Amino acid sequence: MTLPTVRQHGQHQGRQEILPPLPSEANDVRVVGLPNPFSFDGRVDLAVKAGGSVADMIALVCGAEVDRAQAHVKINGEAVPRPLWRHVRPKKGVLVEVRVVPAGGGGGGQRKNPIATILTVAVMAASVFIPAIPVVAAAAGNIGLSLGMAPATALSFGRFLVSTATTMGGRLLVNSLAPPPQQSLGALAATPGTGSGMGGSFVGGPRSSPTLSLTGSRNRLAPYEVIPVVLGRHKVYPPLGAEPYTEIVGDDQYLRLLFTVGYGPLQLDNLKIGETPLSSFDDVETEIRHGYDSDAPIGLFPKDVHEEPVAAFLDGVISGKPGLASYVQRRSEANADELSVDIGFPTGVVSIEDDGTYASHTVTVSVEYQDTLGGGWMSAGNIPVTDNRAETIRRGLRWSVSRGQYDVRLRRTTSLTDSNRVYEDCSWSVLRTITNEAPVQMSGLAQIAMRIKASDQLNGVVDQLNLVATSILPCWNGTSWVEQATANVSALARFVLSGKANARPIETAKLIDSSWQNLYNKCQNTGHQFNGVIDFSTTVGEVVNDVLSAAHASLSKRDGKYGVVIDEAKSTPVQMFTPRNSWGFRGDRVFPETVHGVKVRFVDAASGYRESERIVYADGYGANNAKKFEVLELWGQTSATEIYKKARRHLAEAVHRAETYELNTDIEHIICTRGDLVRVTHDVPGWGLYSARIKTNSLDGSGDCDGVTLDDAVIMEGGKSYSVRIRTEAHGSLVTNVVTAAGETRTLSFLPVIPAATMPTIGDLLSFGEVGQETVELLVKTIEPGPEMSARLTLIDYSPQVFTAHEVPIPPWDPQVTGRPASNPEPPAKPIVETVRSDETVLVRDADGTLRSRIVVALALVSGQAAPAAWFDGQIRPLGSGGAWRSAAR
């Protein structure tokens, strides 16, 4: 079993700084300011000559456009009251901070607190547990000794916390810039229930997907449920937009249906009934509306029709006998503008003569109706049927009425013939209520109306119409957004945020267009797509991040506008952090159980959009030796090739991004955004060796910088190569090698030299370490604002290995720890003996039942400057014997 490793180091070298040193010129005052209360853009960082007033410095920061009345000023952390701005003149070497805050507002003279309208949400997920180091026992005759480390072993000046994880999805959710989709295919495939409204497809409705459910391969009425949203390309069984109804033409029965595919516009292809192409059926008419707002009304299904099966036999009176046939009565639906009835003769209408020939026979049925609010019965007409066939015959009658609700009754007016050679059995099959209104009155929906002959080719209603729908959305063509069929992640995510399916769409002016253009182009180059159907209850936030995860991206917001953060290869760090410009470092590491592969569940387009599973193996494993698997569900992915790439990347992230780190920093966080690449040196995790500030530059004869003097010492060992990384005043990054000079020094010589044009300045931050290890690369995962313009940054490993995991083997994890050389190493501090126990509570029962004694010693380590202990030696001897000590445990 591999034990969690808890690293601890001594006190930070150097000093912790809240802000970097003041400018290099002795007479300068440093002025740092933010003129915009809602944006980090326009940050001012100036060195000005001493002698000017605070009001003059505010003018440098705010300019003429900003209301300076909203500015707050501090000198070296102390607030300066507004009446003193024109009188206070900061002295040389001080720091002046200027920050413009929101002015508030509101009508009626009431000033609202703007902070109450700005919500900063930080989601912190950490399972904190430091396991005790297990007891090690060794037998010494009848006496046993156990040495254990007590949980009192506290970590000083920074912490590394250890947690465990059981599922890959949980690890990736915590340690990824772009976690995998949150939707579960298993949950979405559950039997759908009832919804709660159609006022937007991202709220209400069942938390299951008819498209993915086992019962979803049917067209069904779905009143009050969400309207489907097709994102990308996917097979769908569209719900019915209205109740189907039949009509009689001659002796044939036709079926009319209306399907609502979803929010348009959509490209609709491959129409089938079951697995049979629609073109294989006879007498089929279709009317397709792709879902543009300008679409014409549907003509094949222009009215709302409710069809009620009656299936009542119309009896009659035998010819020559007194009496009339009885009525069969039914009530229509409300709001009827027209009524329609169908009658049928299942055995035909015919009289068979003595010679076997078929003679004509006539049956007449009368139809009457009456308003349910009162009034007499009115005749709608008769349905006379004269025929000579012994096969199913259908007839119907349709008439207009004033809008209302009606009782309808039918009876046979011709007598029955008392002969077994006459076929005339008649039944009332259907009553229809027709309302002269479009069944779907919402515009912008993709719909299909169909009229299909049901006689002799359909077995019941059509409930397996399916097709492949593709979203038509604005796509970036290099100069503008133009509508076309697409599954591009950027186009889909923009639609989720600002499209018609969103009940509260975001204006496109609030989207950072360059960010979305960049993502669109990357998806076109890499082939990242998302293909899914939103026909279940969810939120805009869930959907947009699930869509973006297909391109290893996530949603970001800056200055009130929405953009994206892409987890991709980066080369230029935006900031460098060391103990000099940060504090409160903490690290969390997850130690997952090693898996041999990942079973990925997805909907496979190649197999007809059926749910499938692909096993993606870790390096060194295959079908013959893999036993430990974890499940990863990738909703929205329909390509087995893409599934492989993403699963390999997730395997690499589980190995190389198992840690998260946190640190606090002051205003220097201001240039960082989520997803940025940063460089970090820190002694708690052992990254790099030292950090310092530049005190002076050394110039060669050409004016180039061939070395620097630092404000703190570094130690070098002979035979090793070293380098420095310098964060320049303009937040650039310089890297150069150092000439090794064994021992402790504050002076470094560079080889090669740094050209004069890019020469560092006095006060620049410097990280020192072995070549290529002076800093580590991390990504900014979250930024949590703190007091006094500070922030707490959560960081994860950059780990470029994750970007190539689908092409090459995943290398083992490298902690990137470099050991600092010791100038005068002290021996490990003596541990503190907390308890010694040898009573019955620590006895051990052997397999044969014998009780064996033990001595259990609990130790607490002492932190400090001394070298850490590698191991402990426990020795024993009988009390009062004066004999030699014997090693009993190590």
Instruction: Write out pLDDT tens, residues 707-726.
Output: 999 999 999 999 999 999 99
- pLDDT exceeds cutoff 70 at 576: yes
User: Of residues 651 and 322, which shows the higher confidence score?
Assistant: 651
Q: Please tell me the predicted confidence (pLDDT) of residue 861.
A: 73
The alpha helices in 484-639, defined as continuous H runs, are 489-498, 513-526, 540-549
Q: Are 553 and 178 in contact (CB under 8 A)?
A: yes
CATH number of 28-117: 3.10.20.30
In the chain, the percentage of residues whose pLDDT exceeds 90 is: 52
Q: Are strands 95-100 and 722-727 parallel, antiparallel or unpaired?
A: unpaired
- pLDDT exceeds cutoff 80 at 167: no
Distance of alpha carbon 589 from alpha carbon 655, whole angstroms: 11
Phi, psi of 58, rounded to the nearest 5 degrees = -65, -40
Mean predicted confidence (pLDDT) in 850-869: 74
User: Of residues 239 and 458, which shows the higher confidence score?
Assistant: 239
Q: Please tell me the predicted confidence (pLDDT) of residue 12.
A: 42
Task: Please report which confidence band the pLDDT of residue 201 belongs to, taking 50, 70 and 90 as the band edges.
Answer: low
User: Of residues 224 and 748, which shows the higher confidence score?
Assistant: 748
Amino acid at 818: T
Range with lowest mean pLDDT among 92-106, 153-167, 529-543, 770-784? 153-167
Mean predicted confidence (pLDDT) in 813-819: 86
Q: What is the CA radius of gyration of the chain?
A: 40
Q: Are strands 733-738 and 690-699 parallel, antiparallel or unpaired?
A: unpaired
The alpha helices in 108-253, defined as continuous H runs, are 168-174, 185-188
Q: Are 546 and 481 in contact (CB under 8 A)?
A: no
Distance of alpha carbon 544 from alpha carbon 547, whole angstroms: 5
Strand order in the sheet with 252-263: 245-249, 252-263, 445-453, 284-289
Task: Please report which confidence band the pLDDT of residue 130 belongs to, taking 50, 70 and 90 as the band edges.
Answer: very low
Q: Please tell me the predicted confidence (pLDDT) of residue 27.
A: 60
Three-state DSSP at 647 gives: helix
Q: Are 370 and 406 in contact (CB under 8 A)?
A: yes
Mean predicted confidence (pLDDT) in 53-61: 83
Q: Please tell me the predicted confidence (pLDDT) of residue 740.
A: 95
User: Of residues 298 and 128, which shows the higher confidence score?
Assistant: 298
Please list, in sequence order, all residues whose beta carbon lies within 8 angstroms of the beta carbon of residue 291, skipping any fewer than 6 positions away: 261, 262, 263, 264, 265, 266, 444, 445, 446, 447, 472
Q: Are 377 and 370 in contact (CB under 8 A)?
A: yes
Q: Are 660 and 795 in contact (CB under 8 A)?
A: yes
Phi-psi region of 117 (alpha: psi -120 to 50; beta: other; left: phi over 0): alpha
Q: CA torsion 110→115→116→117, rounded to 10°? A: 90
Task: Please report which confidence band the pLDDT of residue 144 belongs to, taking 50, 70 and 90 as the band edges.
Answer: very low
Mean predicted confidence (pLDDT) in 51-75: 75
Comparing C-alpha atoms, which of 627, 641, 658 is closest to residue 810? 658
Q: Please tell me the predicted confidence (pLDDT) of residue 820.
A: 73
Q: Please tell me the predicted confidence (pLDDT) of residue 882.
A: 77
Which residue do the tokens 């949400």 mark? 121
- pLDDT exceeds cutoff 60 at 886: yes
Comparing C-alpha atoms, which of 758, 658, 886 is closest to residue 139? 886
List pLDDT tens digits, range 488-541. Answer: 999 999 999 999 999 899 999 999 999 999 999 999 999 999 999 998 888 899
Report CA-CA distances (Å) from 861 to 380, 458, 588, 834, 888.
Answer: 101, 83, 21, 10, 20
CB neighbourhood size of 582 (10 A): 26
In the chain, where are the structural domains located?
Answer: 28-117, 131-153+824-890, 245-300+440-467, 305-435
Mean predicted confidence (pLDDT) in 147-163: 33
Report CA-CA distances (Å) from 839 to 337, 793, 814.
Answer: 96, 50, 45
Q: Are 412 and 392 in contact (CB under 8 A)?
A: no
DSSP output for 337-364: EEEEEEEEETT-BEEE-TTS-EE-EEEE
In the chain, the percentage of residues whose pLDDT exceeds 70 is: 81
Distance of alpha carbon 241 from alpha carbon 289, whole angstroms: 13
Whether cis (ω within 30° of 0) applies to the bond prior to 20 is: no
- pLDDT exceeds cutoff 70 at 255: yes
Q: Please tell me the predicted confidence (pLDDT) of residue 441.
A: 86
Task: Please report which confidence band the pLDDT of residue 252 belongs to, taking 50, 70 and 90 as the band edges.
Answer: confident
DSSP 8-state symbol, 224:
T
CA atoms within 13 A on the CB side of 7: 19
List pLDDT tens digits, range 368-406. Answer: 999 999 889 999 999 999 999 999 999 999 999 999 999
Distance of alpha carbon 469 from alpha carbon 233, whole angstroms: 6
User: Of residues 208 and 32, which shows the higher confidence score?
Assistant: 32
List pLDDT tens digits, range 433-450. Answer: 999 888 888 999 999 999
Q: pTM of the prediction?
A: 0.70
Distance of alpha carbon 458 from alpha carbon 454, whole angstroms: 5
- pLDDT exceeds cutoff 60 at 569: yes
Please list, in sequence order, all residues whose beta carbon lies within 8 angstroms of the beta carbon of residue 233, skipping any fewer than 6 positions away: 468, 469, 470, 471, 485, 487, 529, 531, 605, 638
Longest dimension (CA), the chain: 136
Task: Please report which confidence band the pLDDT of residue 320 belongs to, taking 50, 70 and 90 as the band edges.
Answer: low
Mean predicted confidence (pLDDT) in 279-305: 91
Mean pLDDT of the chain: 82
Mean predicted confidence (pLDDT) in 222-240: 92
**305-435: which CATH topology?**
Jelly Rolls (2.60.120)
List pLDDT tens digits, range 89-129. Answer: 888 878 888 877 655 444 444 433 333 333 222 222 222 22
